[in-house]
């Protein structure tokens, strides 16, 4: 029985795990939860993805960060590449985990809470959305300020921190972050365009375009 990576094209967090599984030719079967909902909901009661399972070997992983690490450490055959992606010192490892955690938790949650109502994915309330915008701006500015003096999030080359964060930024760049937004956040935009051309993730991002206009509140 193959190892199964459950994902959904409607969710952000599975983007990078699927890219890594494909890049490293891991032999992992990527399954859309919509096509196997019965088994998915039975095995994973939180109903969130990505998740990784092999019932024969007892593999059962939830949470994106744990799945990133498992795929890289299990299927990357070059120890030096593993160090580059995950860190070669305790401090580098910790910094990478820091940015990964921020990207898949506070950042992506605030991004969706702000943009979701503007895009019709969530109910819109003017006061609530203004507050959500302020909360999102705080976390976006953390990235912008850091990338002002750093080409990448950690160190001098692309790490899993960059790949993870690029997946979280995809929702915004795909649906909302137009050229005007990019002028406000030039460092994020420069970094995002570079990271998404990386061979680790380029198969997903190659045909994706930046949003042409920022969504406006519903009338």
Q: Which residues of 164-176 are buried (b: 16+ CB within 10 A; e: fewer)?
A: bbbbbbbbbbebb
Confidence of residue 1 (pLDDT cuts 50, 70, 90): low
pLDDT at 219 over 90: no
- Going by C-alpha positions, the residue among 175, 203, 98 that lies closest to residue 143 is 98
Q: Please state, in angstroms and rounded to a whole number, the distance separating the CA atoms of residues 205 and 86.
A: 22
Q: Please state, in angstroms and rounded to a whole number, the distance separating the CA atoms of residues 96 and 74.
A: 18
Mean of per-residue pLDDT scores for the chain: 96
> Which residues contact residue 72 at a Cβ distance below 8 angstroms, ignoring those fewer than 6 apart?
20, 24, 82, 85, 86, 160
pLDDT at 127 over 70: yes
pTM: 0.95
**Six-digit token pair at 38?**
């019965």
Task: Summarize the confidence of residues 202-217 as an average pLDDT.
Answer: 96
In this predicted model, what pLDDT tens digit does every residue of 47-106 receive, in sequence order?
A: 999 999 998 999 999 999 999 999 999 999 999 999 999 999 999 999 999 999 999 999
- Which residues lie across from 4 on neighbouring strands? 29, 53
Q: Please state, in angstroms and rounded to a whole number, the distance separating the CA atoms of residues 183 and 79.
A: 39
Residue 135 CB: number of other CB atoms within 10 A?
16
How many residues are recorded in the chain?
219
């Amino acid at each position: 029985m193959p190892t199964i990576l459950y994902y959904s094209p409607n969710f952000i967090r599975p983007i990078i795990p699927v890219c890594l599984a494909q890049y490293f030719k891991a032999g992992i079967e990527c399954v859309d939860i919509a096509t196997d909902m019965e088994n998915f909901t039975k095995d994973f009661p939180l109903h969130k993805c990505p998740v990784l399972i092999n019932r024969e070997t007892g593999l059962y992983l939830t949470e994106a960060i744990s799945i990133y690490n498992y795929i890289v450490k299990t299927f990357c055959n070059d120890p030096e590449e593993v160090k580059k992606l995950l860190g070669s010192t305790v401090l580098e490892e910790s910094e990478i985990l820091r940015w990964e955690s921020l990207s898949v938790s506070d950042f992506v949650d605030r991004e969706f809470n702000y943009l979701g109502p503007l895009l019709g994915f969530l109910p819109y309330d003017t006061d609530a959305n203004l507050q959500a915008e302020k909360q999102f701006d705080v976390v976006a500015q953390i990235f912008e300020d850091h990338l002002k003096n750093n080409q990448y999030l950690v160190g001098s080359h692309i790490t899993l921190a960059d790949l993870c964060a690029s997946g979280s930024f995809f929702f915004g760049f795909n649906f909302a972050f137009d050229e005007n937004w990019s002028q406000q956040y030039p460092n994020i935009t420069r970094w995002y365009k570079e990271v998404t051309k990386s061979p680790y993730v380029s198969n997903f991002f190659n045909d994706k375009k930046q949003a042409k206009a920022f969504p406006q509140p519903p009338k």
